[in-house]
Amino acid sequence: MKSFKIILLLPLISFSLSACGGPVGGGAAVATEDTTPPKIENITPVDSVQQACSVSVEFDDPILESTVTPDSFQILSDGSENPLTEADGTWGLSPDNNKIIIFKPSGNLIGSYKVTVTTDIANVAELNLENGKSWTFTASQACSTSGGGDTTPPKFLNGIPEGQVDQICSITAEFDEPILESTISDQSFIIQSATSDTPLGSGDGTWSLSPSNNTIALFQPSVDLVGTYTVKITTDITDTAGNNLAGPQQSWAFTAAQACSTTGGDIKPPQFLNGDPVGPVVQACAITAEFDEPILESSVTAQSFVIQSASSATPLTSVDGTWGLSPSSGTIALFEPSVDLVGTYTVKITTDITDTAGNNLTGNQSWAFTTSQACSTGGGDTTPPQFITGEPQGAVNNVCLITAEFDEAILESSVTNQSFIIQSTAVGASPISSGDGTWGLSATNDAIAIFVPAISLVGEFRVTITTGIANTAGLNLAADESWTFTASLPCPP
């Protein structure tokens, strides 16, 4: 059934219709038919992609679901004469947006495919698409091979900056899951000045993931961004399983009053690396936040480095301890308590933290920890353990033992598959689990943590030692450490 727009006309005079015989006055309703056909706005996936967990087309108008069929939305595998059928998946509307039609395969789409949208597609007013469209894509691996069957598209959470700001040293877009870095580009993360006809390109900065959070896409400009800009995030962004961003496209705007370079030429904001302690620990004699560059000490305060007990309605203040920089590193913000921290605490690092050039942190960071005893019960030790070396590294014949050496005795209960992580670098590989070997301390040296594998380790692996490692006084390692090795042969029996 066709829809109509109703327009109420209010004539100033009455008139009669002789055919009806009686006078007609007042208002008359006139139906105006919708005559605008739908138009295609976006298609996904296109060209080469890692995976294709769904195929979608976005229109400018709600689509009549009954017109979305294998014949109107054709998907043809390269080398095949027949398009996919209902036995190969489902066709319909996106549950989140009735302007998007979607095909969800019941099997894996690997290789090259041609997609054709025909003029049988119609909007809810039953107006058909005027011109069909065809395109191709190539998927290099099955959707299920890297995400355990992940078919859930990533969702956009927020973009920074937005609205009126003093200066722009970076632009970020945050999502609800890790993003595939190769999909972040000037084509999927579009930035355009209000005074320019063309968006920024590769010569104007770099697009990537945030080094501290793989759910955040980051643009770091090499030019000054002054004035009003619009930012658009397209559905070409995918998660690590190859699922494209759920439509519609996301956009926002900001206006910068001055160039970032007015702070001294440094236009790169600091990046948060890690916080310590995290999770269950014996004691908390200090709290640290590490960054990728030196931090302005005056920006490290109780308001920018917020610590709050789960049993209190207010954060700690200057009467509870001192905030500053670590005396050994200008990249580490430090809180030294003057009270015992026992129980559960949350820590929040805010964007009021700045580097020495005055560039603010791009997003808030937070974590929590729980202590079982006051720092003073551990013998007065306030020095965290230091990582010395890990073995093996680089190319080796085989690996029968992995070790991590520290500068002091380590608490054996802190050496687990969560704090001593071994993971193949192959796409989609999961960390080695507790059933694949044993973690503990060396029998001859309690400063050496060890992993004895029960499986063959062949190929390239990354080892990560986290801040979950603690010394016997319960003080955690200050920062994560990692290295890689490549084994060509299995460990001999």
pLDDT band for position 149 (cuts 50, 70, 90): low
Residue (of 111, 189, 182, 175) closest to 143 by Cα position = 111
pLDDT band for position 146 (cuts 50, 70, 90): very low
Residue 5 has pLDDT above 60, yes or no: no
Domain with 68 in it:
40-147
CATH number assigned to the domain comprising residue 60: 2.60.40.3710
Question: CB neighbours of 210 closer than 8 A, spacing ≥ 6?
Answer: 172, 216, 217, 218, 271, 362
Q: What is the pLDDT of residues 196-207, one digit of tens each?
A: 999 999 889 999
Higher pLDDT, 368 or 87: 368
Lookup result for tokens 């080398």:
79
Assess if residue 394 is contained within a domain: yes
435 shares its domain with 474: yes
Candidate from 77-81, 100-104, 329-333 with smallest mean pLDDT: 77-81
Q: How many domains does the chain have?
A: 5
Arithmetic mean of pLDDT, 365-373: 91
Assess if residue 493 is contained within a domain: no
Assess if residue 200 is contained within a domain: yes
58 shares its domain with 27: no
CA 332 to chain centre: 25
164 shares its domain with 208: yes
Arithmetic mean of pLDDT, 390-395: 94
292 shares its domain with 369: yes
Assess if residue 492 is contained within a domain: no
pLDDT band for position 58 (cuts 50, 70, 90): confident
Assess if residue 220 is contained within a domain: yes
DSSP characters over 120-180: T-BBTT-PBPSS-EEEEEEESS-THHHHSS--PPP-EEEEES-EEES--S-EEEEESS-B-
pLDDT band for position 30 (cuts 50, 70, 90): very low
Assess if residue 125 is contained within a domain: yes
Arithmetic mean of pLDDT, 27-45: 72
Q: Could you give the C-alpha distances from 486 to 291, 418, 424, 432, 463, in angstroms and in order?
A: 30, 21, 10, 16, 11
Q: What is the pLDDT of residues 354-368, one digit of tens each?
A: 887 778 898 899 999
228 shares its domain with 185: yes
Of 117, 147, 177, the one marking the end of a domain is: 147
| Average pLDDT in the chain | 84
Candidate from 253-267, 278-292, 406-420, 425-439 with smallest mean pLDDT: 253-267
Of 378, 409, 437, the one marking the end of a domain is: 378
Residue 17 has pLDDT above 80, yes or no: no
Residue 487 has pLDDT above 60, yes or no: yes
320 shares its domain with 340: yes
212, 272 Cβ separation under 8 angstroms: yes
359 shares its domain with 421: no
Arithmetic mean of pLDDT, 465-470: 91
196, 245 Cβ separation under 8 angstroms: no
Assess if residue 153 is contained within a domain: no
Residues in the chain: 493
367 shares its domain with 288: yes
pLDDT of residue 345: 96
463, 419 Cβ separation under 8 angstroms: no
Residue 6 has pLDDT above 50, yes or no: no
CATH number assigned to the domain comprising residue 199: 2.60.40.1220
pLDDT band for position 96 (cuts 50, 70, 90): low
142 shares its domain with 193: no
Pairing of strands 171-175, 156-160: antiparallel
436 shares its domain with 463: yes
Arithmetic mean of pLDDT, 305-326: 93
Assess if residue 419 is contained within a domain: yes
287 shares its domain with 337: yes
